[in-house]
Amino acid sequence: MTVRRKYEENFFRFLSFLFTAIIVFALVQIIWTIAKKGVPSLSWQIISQEPKGGYYFGKDGGILNAIAGSFYLAVSATVLAFIISLPVALFMNIYLIRYQRLLIGIRFFLDVLWGVPSIVYGAFSFTLLMYLGYKNSLGAGTITVAAMITPIMIRAMDEVVKTIPIGLQEASLALGSTKTETAYKVFFREALPGFATAILLAFGRGIGDAASVLFTAGYTDYIPHSFSEPTATLPLAIFFQLSSPIEEVQNRAYAAAVILTLIVLVLSVSARLLKPRK
């Protein structure tokens, strides 16, 4: 090796190392900060009770309303998004496989939607749903979050279905299956392990997002009992408590952040474990 190439190699290796270190350092810092402030405020009470009178001034109670609300919202949005995404992902890869140009266009379009900031979905849904006469509610929040995570889910599922070899489609058609049968009886099963990853990915995105539900889900101290009631969510619970001047309430915001981080961490790790190995 010439001296120059040696220097180059060392320089770029150093750069990669440096930036990796920065990323890891930032991540550790975030988790450390949240944990330092949040873990002391974690208690059985905070995850098992709804806010009591005076909770926001540092009195008794917990954020069960937000934990339950977030789960309700994320689960229903994920279910709704899945119902929409499944036929689209299968349709793209079975019916549109003949139209590669169109497919490229659709994928590009979905990727753009993926990149749209969630506050835009929030503002758009707010305008639309208010125009239609909906009020802030679990239902409105569900629709908003579903709209936000659907492009993510379609593309994640699409990437899974795309890897299925055309030979399997030929084999299925040769047996006399229609395209629909091929989609739902053959491709669906083949893609199922990969779909689990896509679902968890979208769920994680849905449960952690604050901006999309800011205008549409409302906020309440109670656990919602129907889609027409407003609901609290963890990200908003963090947001509201953090804006309090009282330190004890602020620390509870960090405790909520610890809970949310743990949920998302568990989801990401499961998504990784479920990912089919090639």
- Interacting residues with other proteins (CB under 8 A): 97-100, 165-178, 181, 185-186, 189-190
State in angstroms the smallest separation of the CB of 86 from other proteins.
Answer: 16
Complex with other proteins: residue 98 or 277, whichever CB lies closer:
98
The full DSSP string for 12-43 is: HHHHHHHHHHHHHHHHHHHHHHHHHHHGGG--
Nearer residue to other proteins within complex by CB, 171 or 269: 171
Task: Find the shortest distance in angstroms from Cβ 160 to other proteins.
Answer: 13
- Based on CB atoms, which residue is closest to other proteins, 27 or 168? 168
Written as six digits, the tokens of 184 are 């739902």
Q: What is the CA radius of gyration of the chain?
A: 23
CB of residue 201 to other proteins, shortest distance in Å: 22
Q: How many CA atoms lie within 13 A of 62 on its CB side?
A: 16
**CB within 8 Å of 137: residues ≥ 6 apart:** 216, 217, 218, 224, 227, 228, 229, 230, 231
- Minimum CB separation of residue 181 from other proteins in Å reads 7
The answer to whether 50 and 62 are in contact (CB under 8 A) is yes
Distance from C-alpha of 32 to C-alpha of 10, rounded to nearest angstrom = 32
Instruction: Identify the residue whose tokens are 């990401």.
Output: 268
**Least separation in angstroms between CB 262 and other proteins:** 34
C-beta of 59 vs 189, nearer to other proteins: 189
Integer Cα distance of 102 and 84 in angstroms: 19
CB of 167 to other proteins, least distance (A): 5
The two three-digit tokens of residue 251, written as one number: 């620390």
Q: Two tokens at 157?
A: 């599922």
| C-beta closer to other proteins: residue 13 or 185 | 185
Position of tokens 């998004």?
81
Please say which residue, 43 or 180, places its beta carbon nearer to other proteins.
180
Least Å from the CB of residue 157 to other proteins: 16
Nearest CB to other proteins, comparing residues 21 and 192: 192
